Structure 1
Amino acid sequence: MAADAPAPEPRRDPTGLDAFRPAEVARRIEEAGVTKAALHAQPLAVLSVMAGIFIALGAAAFTAVVTGTDLAYGPTRLLGGLVFSLGLVLVVVAGAELFTGNALVVLAWVDRKISGAGLLRNWAFSFMGNLVGATLIALLMGASGLFAGPVGETARKLALAKVTIGMPEALVRGILCNMMVCLAVWLTFAARSVTDKIFAVLLPIAGFVLMGYEHSIANMYLIAAGYAAGADITLASYLHNLVPVTIGNIIGGAGGVALTYRLAYGPPK
Protein backbone atom coordinates (compact mmCIF):
# COMPACT_ATOMS: atom_id res chain seq x y z
CA MET A 1 0.00 0.00 0.00
CA ALA A 2 1.31 3.43 -0.90
CA ALA A 3 2.39 5.62 1.96
CA ASP A 4 0.05 8.46 2.91
CA ALA A 5 0.86 11.74 1.23
CA PRO A 6 2.40 14.33 3.59
CA ALA A 7 0.03 16.97 4.92
CA PRO A 8 0.34 20.33 3.17
CA GLU A 9 2.28 23.02 4.99
CA PRO A 10 -0.01 25.60 6.65
CA ARG A 11 -0.05 28.95 4.90
CA ARG A 12 2.21 31.38 6.74
CA ASP A 13 2.06 35.13 6.93
CA PRO A 14 4.87 36.59 4.79
CA THR A 15 5.88 38.81 7.70
CA GLY A 16 6.68 35.72 9.77
CA LEU A 17 4.16 36.75 12.44
CA ASP A 18 1.71 34.16 13.73
CA ALA A 19 -1.19 36.59 13.62
CA PHE A 20 -4.27 37.45 11.60
CA ARG A 21 -3.60 39.97 8.85
CA PRO A 22 -4.99 43.51 9.19
CA ALA A 23 -7.77 42.98 6.64
CA GLU A 24 -8.77 39.79 8.48
CA VAL A 25 -8.77 41.70 11.76
CA ALA A 26 -11.20 44.22 10.27
CA ARG A 27 -13.51 41.39 9.22
CA ARG A 28 -13.33 39.73 12.65
CA ILE A 29 -14.08 43.01 14.44
CA GLU A 30 -17.05 43.63 12.17
CA GLU A 31 -18.39 40.14 12.95
CA ALA A 32 -17.89 40.79 16.66
CA GLY A 33 -19.82 44.05 16.30
CA VAL A 34 -22.78 42.19 14.80
CA THR A 35 -22.72 39.77 17.73
CA LYS A 36 -22.48 42.57 20.29
CA ALA A 37 -25.40 44.47 18.77
CA ALA A 38 -27.55 41.31 18.93
CA LEU A 39 -26.87 40.51 22.61
CA HIS A 40 -29.99 40.21 24.76
CA ALA A 41 -30.47 42.81 27.46
CA GLN A 42 -29.56 40.59 30.43
CA PRO A 43 -26.14 39.34 29.27
CA LEU A 44 -25.34 42.76 27.81
CA ALA A 45 -26.14 44.46 31.12
CA VAL A 46 -24.22 41.91 33.22
CA LEU A 47 -21.16 41.96 30.96
CA SER A 48 -21.21 45.77 30.95
CA VAL A 49 -21.20 45.91 34.74
CA MET A 50 -18.36 43.39 34.78
CA ALA A 51 -16.30 45.56 32.41
CA GLY A 52 -16.73 48.53 34.74
CA ILE A 53 -15.60 46.35 37.64
CA PHE A 54 -12.56 45.11 35.71
CA ILE A 55 -11.40 48.59 34.68
CA ALA A 56 -11.96 49.85 38.24
CA LEU A 57 -9.84 47.03 39.62
CA GLY A 58 -7.06 48.02 37.25
CA ALA A 59 -7.43 51.67 38.29
CA ALA A 60 -7.38 50.69 41.97
CA ALA A 61 -4.17 48.75 41.40
CA PHE A 62 -2.73 51.76 39.55
CA THR A 63 -3.58 53.99 42.52
CA ALA A 64 -1.80 51.64 44.90
CA VAL A 65 1.35 51.16 42.82
CA VAL A 66 1.96 54.91 42.30
CA THR A 67 1.39 55.76 45.96
CA GLY A 68 4.48 57.24 47.58
CA THR A 69 5.96 58.42 44.28
CA ASP A 70 5.88 61.55 42.14
CA LEU A 71 2.72 61.09 40.06
CA ALA A 72 4.14 63.25 37.27
CA TYR A 73 7.35 61.24 36.97
CA GLY A 74 7.67 59.19 33.76
CA PRO A 75 8.85 55.80 35.05
CA THR A 76 6.20 55.90 37.78
CA ARG A 77 3.47 56.50 35.22
CA LEU A 78 4.85 53.75 32.99
CA LEU A 79 4.78 51.27 35.89
CA GLY A 80 1.28 52.44 36.78
CA GLY A 81 0.18 51.98 33.17
CA LEU A 82 1.46 48.42 33.05
CA VAL A 83 -0.45 47.63 36.25
CA PHE A 84 -3.56 49.43 34.99
CA SER A 85 -3.48 47.13 31.95
CA LEU A 86 -4.95 44.51 34.27
CA GLY A 87 -8.37 46.00 33.57
CA LEU A 88 -8.35 45.54 29.80
CA VAL A 89 -6.66 42.14 30.11
CA LEU A 90 -9.62 41.00 32.22
CA VAL A 91 -12.10 42.49 29.73
CA VAL A 92 -10.46 40.81 26.74
CA VAL A 93 -9.66 37.41 28.24
CA ALA A 94 -12.53 36.93 30.71
CA GLY A 95 -15.05 38.62 28.40
CA ALA A 96 -16.98 41.82 29.11
CA GLU A 97 -18.63 44.76 27.34
CA LEU A 98 -16.42 47.86 27.62
CA PHE A 99 -17.89 51.08 26.27
CA THR A 100 -14.61 52.49 24.99
CA GLY A 101 -13.66 49.28 23.19
CA ASN A 102 -17.17 49.05 21.77
CA ALA A 103 -16.50 52.20 19.78
CA LEU A 104 -15.23 49.68 17.20
CA VAL A 105 -18.81 48.40 16.75
CA VAL A 106 -19.28 51.39 14.44
CA LEU A 107 -17.46 49.34 11.79
CA ALA A 108 -20.46 46.99 11.54
CA TRP A 109 -22.84 49.96 11.37
CA VAL A 110 -20.95 51.66 8.55
CA ASP A 111 -21.18 48.46 6.50
CA ARG A 112 -24.91 48.20 7.30
CA LYS A 113 -24.57 44.95 9.18
CA ILE A 114 -26.34 46.49 12.18
CA SER A 115 -28.77 49.38 12.57
CA GLY A 116 -28.04 52.73 14.14
CA ALA A 117 -30.43 51.79 16.94
CA GLY A 118 -28.46 48.60 17.56
CA LEU A 119 -25.22 50.57 17.78
CA LEU A 120 -26.65 53.14 20.19
CA ARG A 121 -28.28 50.40 22.28
CA ASN A 122 -24.92 48.69 22.72
CA TRP A 123 -23.21 51.95 23.63
CA ALA A 124 -25.96 52.98 26.08
CA PHE A 125 -26.01 49.61 27.87
CA SER A 126 -22.23 49.35 28.04
CA PHE A 127 -21.75 52.93 29.24
CA MET A 128 -24.36 52.70 31.99
CA GLY A 129 -23.24 49.22 33.03
CA ASN A 130 -19.60 50.36 33.14
CA LEU A 131 -20.69 53.30 35.33
CA VAL A 132 -22.46 50.97 37.77
CA GLY A 133 -19.51 48.57 37.97
CA ALA A 134 -16.85 51.26 38.38
CA THR A 135 -18.87 53.15 41.00
CA LEU A 136 -19.54 49.94 42.92
CA ILE A 137 -15.81 49.22 43.26
CA ALA A 138 -15.17 52.83 44.36
CA LEU A 139 -17.80 52.47 47.09
CA LEU A 140 -16.41 49.12 48.19
CA MET A 141 -12.90 50.57 48.34
CA GLY A 142 -14.22 53.42 50.46
CA ALA A 143 -15.91 50.98 52.84
CA SER A 144 -12.81 48.76 53.04
CA GLY A 145 -10.76 51.23 55.08
CA LEU A 146 -7.96 51.16 52.49
CA PHE A 147 -8.38 54.89 51.85
CA ALA A 148 -7.47 55.74 55.44
CA GLY A 149 -3.74 55.82 54.66
CA PRO A 150 -1.46 56.92 51.84
CA VAL A 151 -3.55 55.25 49.13
CA GLY A 152 -6.44 57.51 50.10
CA GLU A 153 -4.23 60.58 49.68
CA THR A 154 -3.25 59.38 46.22
CA ALA A 155 -6.91 58.77 45.34
CA ARG A 156 -7.77 62.33 46.36
CA LYS A 157 -4.90 63.81 44.34
CA LEU A 158 -5.81 61.84 41.23
CA ALA A 159 -9.48 62.81 41.41
CA LEU A 160 -8.82 66.51 41.98
CA ALA A 161 -6.30 66.57 39.14
CA LYS A 162 -8.90 65.16 36.76
CA VAL A 163 -11.80 67.46 37.64
CA THR A 164 -9.59 70.54 37.18
CA ILE A 165 -8.62 69.72 33.58
CA GLY A 166 -10.15 72.19 31.13
CA MET A 167 -12.95 70.78 28.97
CA PRO A 168 -11.17 71.33 25.62
CA GLU A 169 -8.06 69.60 26.96
CA ALA A 170 -10.18 66.76 28.40
CA LEU A 171 -11.83 66.29 24.99
CA VAL A 172 -8.50 66.01 23.18
CA ARG A 173 -7.02 63.72 25.81
CA GLY A 174 -10.12 61.54 25.47
CA ILE A 175 -9.60 61.30 21.70
CA LEU A 176 -5.96 60.31 22.09
CA CYS A 177 -6.75 57.85 24.86
CA ASN A 178 -9.33 55.82 22.99
CA MET A 179 -7.20 55.68 19.90
CA MET A 180 -4.72 53.79 22.06
CA VAL A 181 -7.37 51.64 23.77
CA CYS A 182 -9.05 50.66 20.49
CA LEU A 183 -5.68 49.93 18.92
CA ALA A 184 -5.01 47.60 21.85
CA VAL A 185 -8.35 45.87 21.24
CA TRP A 186 -7.59 45.78 17.50
CA LEU A 187 -4.29 44.02 18.21
CA THR A 188 -6.03 41.41 20.39
CA PHE A 189 -8.14 40.46 17.37
CA ALA A 190 -4.91 39.80 15.48
CA ALA A 191 -3.67 37.51 18.26
CA ARG A 192 -4.16 33.74 18.22
CA SER A 193 -3.50 32.87 21.88
CA VAL A 194 -4.32 34.24 25.33
CA THR A 195 -0.65 35.08 25.84
CA ASP A 196 -0.59 37.04 22.60
CA LYS A 197 -3.71 38.97 23.65
CA ILE A 198 -2.19 39.93 27.00
CA PHE A 199 1.02 41.20 25.42
CA ALA A 200 -1.02 43.06 22.77
CA VAL A 201 -2.76 45.02 25.53
CA LEU A 202 0.24 45.99 27.66
CA LEU A 203 2.12 48.61 25.65
CA PRO A 204 -0.81 50.62 24.19
CA ILE A 205 -2.47 50.87 27.61
CA ALA A 206 0.77 51.64 29.44
CA GLY A 207 1.45 54.24 26.75
CA PHE A 208 -1.79 56.14 27.21
CA VAL A 209 -1.35 56.22 30.99
CA LEU A 210 2.25 57.36 30.60
CA MET A 211 1.21 60.25 28.36
CA GLY A 212 -1.63 61.39 30.61
CA TYR A 213 -4.60 60.68 28.34
CA GLU A 214 -8.15 60.43 29.71
CA HIS A 215 -10.29 57.27 29.79
CA SER A 216 -13.96 57.77 30.67
CA ILE A 217 -14.51 54.42 32.39
CA ALA A 218 -11.30 54.63 34.43
CA ASN A 219 -12.32 58.17 35.44
CA MET A 220 -15.70 56.88 36.63
CA TYR A 221 -13.75 54.95 39.24
CA LEU A 222 -10.91 57.38 39.92
CA ILE A 223 -13.13 60.40 40.54
CA ALA A 224 -15.66 58.42 42.59
CA ALA A 225 -12.79 56.88 44.57
CA GLY A 226 -11.40 60.33 45.29
CA TYR A 227 -14.82 61.37 46.56
CA ALA A 228 -15.02 58.23 48.72
CA ALA A 229 -11.56 59.11 50.09
CA GLY A 230 -12.73 62.58 51.10
CA ALA A 231 -11.89 64.82 48.12
CA ASP A 232 -14.12 67.84 47.50
CA ILE A 233 -15.83 66.49 44.39
CA THR A 234 -19.25 67.69 43.21
CA LEU A 235 -21.56 66.30 40.53
CA ALA A 236 -20.79 69.34 38.40
CA SER A 237 -17.03 68.79 38.62
CA TYR A 238 -17.52 65.08 37.91
CA LEU A 239 -19.48 65.84 34.73
CA HIS A 240 -16.99 68.60 33.83
CA ASN A 241 -14.51 65.78 33.24
CA LEU A 242 -16.70 62.84 32.21
CA VAL A 243 -18.74 64.51 29.45
CA PRO A 244 -15.88 65.82 27.27
CA VAL A 245 -13.75 62.72 27.92
CA THR A 246 -16.62 60.45 26.85
CA ILE A 247 -17.19 62.44 23.66
CA GLY A 248 -13.46 62.35 22.96
CA ASN A 249 -13.35 58.60 23.54
CA ILE A 250 -16.10 58.09 20.95
CA ILE A 251 -14.31 60.27 18.41
CA GLY A 252 -10.94 58.62 18.98
CA GLY A 253 -12.21 55.04 18.90
CA ALA A 254 -14.95 55.18 16.28
CA GLY A 255 -13.30 57.74 14.02
CA GLY A 256 -9.61 57.52 14.78
CA VAL A 257 -9.42 53.72 14.56
CA ALA A 258 -12.55 52.00 13.22
CA LEU A 259 -13.39 54.37 10.36
CA THR A 260 -9.74 54.93 9.49
CA TYR A 261 -9.18 51.20 8.97
CA ARG A 262 -12.49 51.03 7.12
CA LEU A 263 -11.10 53.57 4.64
CA ALA A 264 -7.87 51.60 4.37
CA TYR A 265 -9.38 48.20 3.70
CA GLY A 266 -12.87 48.93 2.42
CA PRO A 267 -15.78 46.69 3.35
CA PRO A 268 -14.24 43.63 5.07
CA LYS A 269 -14.59 40.60 2.78
Structure 2
Amino acid sequence: MKQFDAHEATRPVSHLAVVDSSAAMSPFEKAAEYGHAKVTKHIAQSFGLSVFAGAFIALAFVFYLTVTTGAAPGSWGLVRFSGGIAFSLGLILVVVLGGELFTSTVLSAIAWAQKRVTTKQLLGCWTRVYLGNLCGAMLILLLVMMSKMYDLNGSAWGLNALHVAQHKIHHDWSQAFALGTLCNLLVCLGVWMTFSCKDALGKSILLILPVAMFVSSGFEHSIANLFMVPLGITIEHFIGSEYFMALGVVPQAFADLTISNFIVHNLIPVTLGNIVGGAVFVQPWVFLD
Protein backbone atom coordinates (compact mmCIF):
# COMPACT_ATOMS: atom_id res chain seq x y z
CA MET A 1 0.00 0.00 0.00
CA LYS A 2 1.24 3.45 -0.92
CA GLN A 3 2.20 5.51 2.14
CA PHE A 4 0.72 8.93 2.75
CA ASP A 5 3.10 11.71 1.67
CA ALA A 6 2.38 15.01 3.43
CA HIS A 7 4.52 16.91 0.96
CA GLU A 8 2.56 15.44 -1.94
CA ALA A 9 -0.75 16.27 -0.30
CA THR A 10 0.15 19.93 0.09
CA ARG A 11 1.82 20.35 -3.28
CA PRO A 12 -0.07 22.88 -5.51
CA VAL A 13 -2.03 21.22 -8.27
CA SER A 14 -1.52 22.64 -11.73
CA HIS A 15 -4.55 24.59 -12.90
CA LEU A 16 -4.30 22.76 -16.20
CA ALA A 17 -5.26 19.53 -14.46
CA VAL A 18 -8.46 20.90 -13.00
CA VAL A 19 -9.79 23.02 -15.81
CA ASP A 20 -13.52 22.64 -16.05
CA SER A 21 -14.31 21.40 -19.52
CA SER A 22 -17.29 23.78 -19.73
CA ALA A 23 -15.02 26.74 -18.97
CA ALA A 24 -12.98 25.92 -22.07
CA MET A 25 -16.06 26.14 -24.29
CA SER A 26 -16.85 29.29 -26.22
CA PRO A 27 -20.17 31.04 -25.58
CA PHE A 28 -21.41 29.69 -28.91
CA GLU A 29 -20.55 26.11 -27.94
CA LYS A 30 -22.31 26.61 -24.61
CA ALA A 31 -25.37 27.94 -26.42
CA ALA A 32 -25.34 24.94 -28.77
CA GLU A 33 -25.12 22.58 -25.79
CA TYR A 34 -27.94 24.50 -24.12
CA GLY A 35 -30.15 24.13 -27.18
CA HIS A 36 -29.24 20.49 -27.80
CA ALA A 37 -30.09 19.58 -24.19
CA LYS A 38 -33.51 21.23 -24.49
CA VAL A 39 -34.44 19.50 -27.73
CA THR A 40 -33.29 16.04 -26.66
CA LYS A 41 -34.75 16.17 -23.15
CA HIS A 42 -37.32 13.48 -22.34
CA ILE A 43 -40.74 14.61 -23.56
CA ALA A 44 -42.50 14.20 -20.19
CA GLN A 45 -39.75 16.04 -18.34
CA SER A 46 -39.67 18.81 -20.93
CA PHE A 47 -43.43 19.30 -20.79
CA GLY A 48 -43.50 19.26 -16.99
CA LEU A 49 -40.77 21.88 -16.75
CA SER A 50 -42.55 24.00 -19.35
CA VAL A 51 -45.71 24.01 -17.21
CA PHE A 52 -43.66 25.39 -14.34
CA ALA A 53 -42.09 28.02 -16.60
CA GLY A 54 -45.49 29.19 -17.82
CA ALA A 55 -46.61 29.50 -14.21
CA PHE A 56 -43.45 31.45 -13.29
CA ILE A 57 -44.03 33.98 -16.07
CA ALA A 58 -47.70 34.35 -15.11
CA LEU A 59 -46.73 34.96 -11.48
CA ALA A 60 -44.27 37.61 -12.66
CA PHE A 61 -47.10 39.38 -14.48
CA VAL A 62 -49.18 39.27 -11.29
CA PHE A 63 -46.25 41.01 -9.60
CA TYR A 64 -46.11 43.57 -12.44
CA LEU A 65 -49.81 44.38 -12.11
CA THR A 66 -49.53 44.80 -8.35
CA VAL A 67 -46.53 47.12 -8.61
CA THR A 68 -48.05 49.31 -11.34
CA THR A 69 -51.60 49.56 -9.96
CA GLY A 70 -52.54 52.94 -8.50
CA ALA A 71 -49.38 54.69 -9.65
CA ALA A 72 -49.26 58.47 -10.01
CA PRO A 73 -49.87 59.59 -13.63
CA GLY A 74 -46.75 61.76 -13.66
CA SER A 75 -44.31 58.93 -13.01
CA TRP A 76 -44.92 56.87 -16.17
CA GLY A 77 -41.31 55.88 -16.88
CA LEU A 78 -40.38 55.02 -13.30
CA VAL A 79 -43.58 53.03 -12.79
CA ARG A 80 -42.92 50.96 -15.90
CA PHE A 81 -39.31 50.46 -14.86
CA SER A 82 -40.35 49.23 -11.42
CA GLY A 83 -42.86 46.94 -13.10
CA GLY A 84 -40.09 45.63 -15.35
CA ILE A 85 -37.88 44.92 -12.36
CA ALA A 86 -40.77 43.03 -10.75
CA PHE A 87 -41.42 41.04 -13.93
CA SER A 88 -37.77 39.94 -14.10
CA LEU A 89 -38.64 37.52 -11.29
CA GLY A 90 -40.26 35.31 -13.92
CA LEU A 91 -37.17 34.74 -16.07
CA ILE A 92 -34.99 34.46 -12.97
CA LEU A 93 -37.17 31.63 -11.68
CA VAL A 94 -37.08 29.93 -15.08
CA VAL A 95 -33.28 30.09 -15.43
CA VAL A 96 -32.33 29.36 -11.82
CA LEU A 97 -34.88 26.56 -11.30
CA GLY A 98 -34.48 25.05 -14.76
CA GLY A 99 -37.88 25.69 -16.35
CA GLU A 100 -38.54 25.33 -20.07
CA LEU A 101 -39.75 28.64 -21.50
CA PHE A 102 -40.67 28.92 -25.18
CA THR A 103 -38.92 32.24 -25.75
CA SER A 104 -35.59 31.06 -24.36
CA THR A 105 -36.02 27.58 -25.88
CA VAL A 106 -35.98 29.28 -29.29
CA LEU A 107 -32.21 29.53 -28.75
CA SER A 108 -32.13 25.82 -29.60
CA ALA A 109 -32.09 26.98 -33.22
CA ILE A 110 -28.33 27.24 -32.73
CA ALA A 111 -28.09 23.46 -32.28
CA TRP A 112 -30.29 23.04 -35.37
CA ALA A 113 -28.05 25.36 -37.41
CA GLN A 114 -25.07 23.21 -36.42
CA LYS A 115 -27.05 20.12 -37.54
CA ARG A 116 -27.02 18.62 -34.05
CA VAL A 117 -30.81 18.21 -34.07
CA THR A 118 -33.31 17.72 -36.88
CA THR A 119 -36.05 20.12 -37.93
CA LYS A 120 -38.66 17.65 -36.67
CA GLN A 121 -36.99 17.47 -33.25
CA LEU A 122 -36.72 21.26 -33.06
CA LEU A 123 -40.35 21.96 -33.96
CA GLY A 124 -41.54 19.16 -31.67
CA CYS A 125 -39.63 20.73 -28.78
CA TRP A 126 -40.99 24.20 -29.47
CA THR A 127 -44.56 22.88 -29.71
CA ARG A 128 -44.57 20.93 -26.44
CA VAL A 129 -42.87 23.76 -24.56
CA TYR A 130 -45.38 26.28 -25.92
CA LEU A 131 -48.30 24.08 -24.90
CA GLY A 132 -46.77 23.43 -21.49
CA ASN A 133 -46.28 27.16 -20.95
CA LEU A 134 -49.96 27.67 -21.85
CA CYS A 135 -51.03 25.09 -19.25
CA GLY A 136 -48.91 26.77 -16.57
CA ALA A 137 -50.32 30.20 -17.42
CA MET A 138 -53.90 28.89 -17.28
CA LEU A 139 -53.26 27.33 -13.88
CA ILE A 140 -52.15 30.66 -12.42
CA LEU A 141 -55.07 32.41 -14.16
CA LEU A 142 -57.48 30.03 -12.42
CA LEU A 143 -55.87 30.64 -9.03
CA VAL A 144 -55.85 34.42 -9.52
CA MET A 145 -59.56 34.43 -10.35
CA MET A 146 -60.39 32.12 -7.44
CA SER A 147 -58.47 34.39 -5.07
CA LYS A 148 -60.34 37.46 -6.43
CA MET A 149 -57.18 39.47 -6.87
CA TYR A 150 -59.07 41.73 -9.27
CA ASP A 151 -60.68 43.32 -6.17
CA LEU A 152 -57.34 44.60 -4.83
CA ASN A 153 -57.01 48.35 -4.23
CA GLY A 154 -60.73 48.97 -4.62
CA SER A 155 -60.82 46.90 -7.83
CA ALA A 156 -58.15 49.10 -9.41
CA TRP A 157 -55.98 45.98 -9.83
CA GLY A 158 -58.57 44.39 -12.10
CA LEU A 159 -59.05 47.62 -14.06
CA ASN A 160 -55.29 47.82 -14.58
CA ALA A 161 -55.32 44.25 -15.90
CA LEU A 162 -58.13 45.13 -18.31
CA HIS A 163 -56.29 48.15 -19.68
CA VAL A 164 -53.03 46.23 -20.12
CA ALA A 165 -54.81 43.35 -21.89
CA GLN A 166 -56.78 45.67 -24.15
CA HIS A 167 -53.66 47.61 -25.13
CA LYS A 168 -52.02 44.40 -26.33
CA ILE A 169 -54.72 43.58 -28.89
CA HIS A 170 -54.63 47.03 -30.49
CA HIS A 171 -51.26 46.67 -32.25
CA ASP A 172 -51.28 46.18 -36.00
CA TRP A 173 -49.51 43.07 -37.28
CA SER A 174 -46.21 44.72 -38.19
CA GLN A 175 -46.06 46.52 -34.85
CA ALA A 176 -46.85 43.36 -32.86
CA PHE A 177 -44.27 41.41 -34.88
CA ALA A 178 -41.57 44.03 -34.32
CA LEU A 179 -42.35 44.28 -30.60
CA GLY A 180 -42.15 40.48 -30.33
CA THR A 181 -38.81 40.46 -32.16
CA LEU A 182 -37.30 43.09 -29.89
CA CYS A 183 -38.61 41.32 -26.80
CA ASN A 184 -37.05 37.96 -27.50
CA LEU A 185 -33.81 39.47 -28.68
CA LEU A 186 -33.44 40.84 -25.15
CA VAL A 187 -34.66 37.65 -23.47
CA CYS A 188 -32.15 35.53 -25.39
CA LEU A 189 -29.35 38.03 -24.83
CA GLY A 190 -30.11 37.82 -21.12
CA VAL A 191 -30.02 34.03 -21.17
CA TRP A 192 -26.86 34.13 -23.29
CA MET A 193 -25.14 36.28 -20.66
CA THR A 194 -25.92 33.70 -17.98
CA PHE A 195 -23.65 31.25 -19.81
CA SER A 196 -20.74 33.30 -18.48
CA CYS A 197 -21.39 32.44 -14.82
CA LYS A 198 -22.39 29.46 -12.71
CA ASP A 199 -23.80 30.85 -9.47
CA ALA A 200 -27.52 31.59 -9.14
CA LEU A 201 -26.98 35.14 -7.84
CA GLY A 202 -24.84 36.10 -10.81
CA LYS A 203 -27.36 34.68 -13.28
CA SER A 204 -30.19 36.53 -11.53
CA ILE A 205 -28.43 39.89 -11.63
CA LEU A 206 -27.58 39.50 -15.32
CA LEU A 207 -31.22 38.87 -16.20
CA ILE A 208 -32.76 41.86 -14.44
CA LEU A 209 -31.95 44.73 -16.81
CA PRO A 210 -32.70 42.99 -20.15
CA VAL A 211 -36.09 41.95 -18.80
CA ALA A 212 -36.75 45.35 -17.21
CA MET A 213 -35.97 46.99 -20.55
CA PHE A 214 -38.30 44.90 -22.67
CA VAL A 215 -41.16 45.16 -20.17
CA SER A 216 -40.86 48.89 -19.52
CA SER A 217 -40.50 49.58 -23.26
CA GLY A 218 -43.69 47.70 -24.08
CA PHE A 219 -42.11 44.87 -26.06
CA GLU A 220 -44.34 41.79 -26.46
CA HIS A 221 -43.69 38.36 -24.90
CA SER A 222 -45.97 35.62 -26.24
CA ILE A 223 -45.97 33.49 -23.08
CA ALA A 224 -46.63 36.45 -20.79
CA ASN A 225 -49.51 37.36 -23.10
CA LEU A 226 -50.92 33.83 -22.75
CA PHE A 227 -51.67 34.84 -19.16
CA MET A 228 -52.24 38.58 -19.39
CA VAL A 229 -54.79 38.82 -22.20
CA PRO A 230 -56.88 35.80 -21.07
CA LEU A 231 -56.91 37.39 -17.61
CA GLY A 232 -58.47 40.54 -19.07
CA ILE A 233 -60.91 38.47 -21.14
CA THR A 234 -61.95 36.47 -18.06
CA ILE A 235 -62.52 39.58 -15.95
CA GLU A 236 -64.54 41.23 -18.74
CA HIS A 237 -66.76 38.20 -19.40
CA PHE A 238 -67.30 36.63 -16.00
CA ILE A 239 -67.12 39.23 -13.23
CA GLY A 240 -70.42 40.98 -13.95
CA SER A 241 -71.62 44.44 -14.86
CA GLU A 242 -71.82 45.59 -11.22
CA TYR A 243 -68.03 45.35 -11.04
CA PHE A 244 -67.68 47.92 -13.82
CA MET A 245 -70.45 50.09 -12.44
CA ALA A 246 -68.60 50.33 -9.13
CA LEU A 247 -65.55 51.56 -11.04
CA GLY A 248 -67.58 54.01 -13.09
CA VAL A 249 -66.67 52.20 -16.29
CA VAL A 250 -68.99 51.12 -19.09
CA PRO A 251 -68.61 47.31 -19.58
CA GLN A 252 -68.82 47.74 -23.38
CA ALA A 253 -65.53 49.64 -23.24
CA PHE A 254 -63.74 46.27 -23.07
CA ALA A 255 -66.04 44.33 -25.42
CA ASP A 256 -63.16 43.88 -27.90
CA LEU A 257 -61.37 41.62 -25.39
CA THR A 258 -62.12 38.32 -27.13
CA ILE A 259 -60.16 35.15 -27.80
CA SER A 260 -60.29 35.68 -31.57
CA ASN A 261 -58.96 39.24 -31.33
CA PHE A 262 -56.21 38.05 -29.02
CA ILE A 263 -55.06 35.23 -31.30
CA VAL A 264 -55.25 37.17 -34.56
CA HIS A 265 -54.03 40.60 -33.48
CA ASN A 266 -51.49 39.64 -30.84
CA LEU A 267 -50.56 36.02 -30.26
CA ILE A 268 -49.71 34.99 -33.83
CA PRO A 269 -47.58 38.01 -34.83
CA VAL A 270 -45.92 38.22 -31.40
CA THR A 271 -45.02 34.52 -31.41
CA LEU A 272 -43.53 34.82 -34.90
CA GLY A 273 -41.60 37.90 -33.77
CA ASN A 274 -40.32 36.03 -30.72
CA ILE A 275 -39.04 33.27 -32.99
CA VAL A 276 -37.25 35.74 -35.27
CA GLY A 277 -35.75 37.67 -32.35
CA GLY A 278 -34.47 34.57 -30.58
CA ALA A 279 -33.60 32.28 -33.49
CA VAL A 280 -32.82 34.30 -36.61
CA PHE A 281 -30.96 37.13 -34.90
CA VAL A 282 -28.50 34.79 -33.18
CA GLN A 283 -27.53 32.83 -36.29
CA PRO A 284 -24.88 35.34 -37.54
CA TRP A 285 -23.09 35.02 -34.19
CA VAL A 286 -22.99 31.24 -34.59
CA PHE A 287 -21.43 31.35 -38.04
CA LEU A 288 -18.89 33.97 -36.96
CA ASP A 289 -17.61 31.69 -34.17
Conserved in 1, the CA contact under 8 Å of 2:230 and 2:259? no
Between stretches 55-64 and 228-237, larger displacement belongs to 228-237
Distance 1:79 1:2 in 2: 57
Distance 1:157 1:99 in 2: 25
Counterpart residue number, 1:53: 55
Instruction: Name the amino acid aligned to 1:53.
Output: A
Counterpart residue number, 2:248: none
Shift in CA distance, 33/238, structure 1 to aligned 2, threshold 3 Å: same
Deviations 1:207-254 (A, max 9, x none): 111211100001111101111222531122111101000000000000
Distance 1:71 1:20 in 2: 48
Instruction: Name the amino acid aligned to 2:235.
Output: A
Counterpart residue number, 2:113: 110
Distance 1:50 1:262 in 2: 30
Conserved in 2, the CA contact under 8 Å of 1:20 and 1:191? no
Distance 1:77 1:20 in 2: 37
Conserved in 2, the CA contact under 8 Å of 1:71 and 1:77? no
Instruction: Name the amino acid aligned to 2:276.
Output: I
Counterpart residue number, 2:66: 64
Distance 2:171 2:36 in 1: 36
Per the TM alignment, residue 150 of structure 1 is displaced from its structure 2 partner at its CA by 1.4
Instruction: Check if 1:35 corresponds to 2:37.
Output: yes
Distance 2:258 2:232 in 1: 11
Distance 1:59 1:10 in 2: 46
Percent sequence identity is 38
Distance 1:156 1:132 in 2: 21
Instruction: Check if 1:251 corresponds to 2:276.
Output: yes
Distance 2:158 2:23 in 1: 43
Instruction: Name the amino acid aligned to 1:252.
Output: G
Conserved in 2, the CA contact under 8 Å of 1:58 and 1:83? yes
Conserved in 2, the CA contact under 8 Å of 1:139 and 1:225? no
Q: Compare CA radii of gyration and give the structure with the larger one.
A: 2
TM-score, normalisation: structure 1: 0.89
Instruction: Check if 1:222 corresponds to 2:228.
Output: yes
Distance 2:76 2:23 in 1: 37
Instruction: Check if 1:7 corresponds to 2:13.
Output: yes
Map 1:154-233 onto structure 2 (within 5 A): 154-230=160-236, 231-232=254-255, 233=257
Aligned partner of residue 195 in structure 2, secondary structure: helix
Instruction: Name the amino acid aligned to 2:101.
Output: L
Deviations 1:85-128 (A, max 9, x none): 01001100111110000110000011111111110011000111
Aligned partner of residue 73 in structure 1, secondary structure: helix
Per the TM alignment, residue 2 of structure 1 is displaced from its structure 2 partner at its CA by 9.5
Counterpart residue number, 1:14: none
Instruction: Check if 1:143 corresponds to 2:168.
Output: no
Deviations 1:59-110 (A, max 9, x none): 1100110001249811111100010001001100111110000110000011
Conserved in 2, the CA contact under 8 Å of 1:184 and 1:201? yes
Distance 2:16 2:209 in 1: 30
Per the TM alignment, residue 10 of structure 1 is displaced from its structure 2 partner at its CA by 7.5
Conserved in 1, the CA contact under 8 Å of 2:50 and 2:99? yes
Deviations 1:2-34 (A, max 9, x none): 9554334579xxxxxxx968x622211211222
Aligned partner of residue 191 in structure 1, secondary structure: coil
Deviations 1:118-176 (A, max 9, x none): 10011000111111111221222122111121110110010001011111100000000
Deviations 1:23-67 (A, max 9, x none): 622211211222211122211111111111010000110011000
CA RMSD of aligned residues (A): 2.0
Shift in CA distance, 76/10, structure 1 to aligned 2, threshold 3 Å: farther
Q: How many residue pairs were aligned?
A: 256
Instruction: Name the amino acid aligned to 2:28.
Output: A
Aligned partner of residue 212 in structure 1, secondary structure: coil
Distance 1:62 1:221 in 2: 12
Distance 2:175 2:85 in 1: 24
Distance 2:281 2:206 in 1: 19
Aligned partner of residue 68 in structure 1, secondary structure: coil
Instruction: Check if 1:263 corresponds to 2:287.
Output: yes
Query: Which blocks of at least 5 consecutive residues in structure 2 are unaligned?
Result: 237-253
Distance 1:154 1:84 in 2: 15
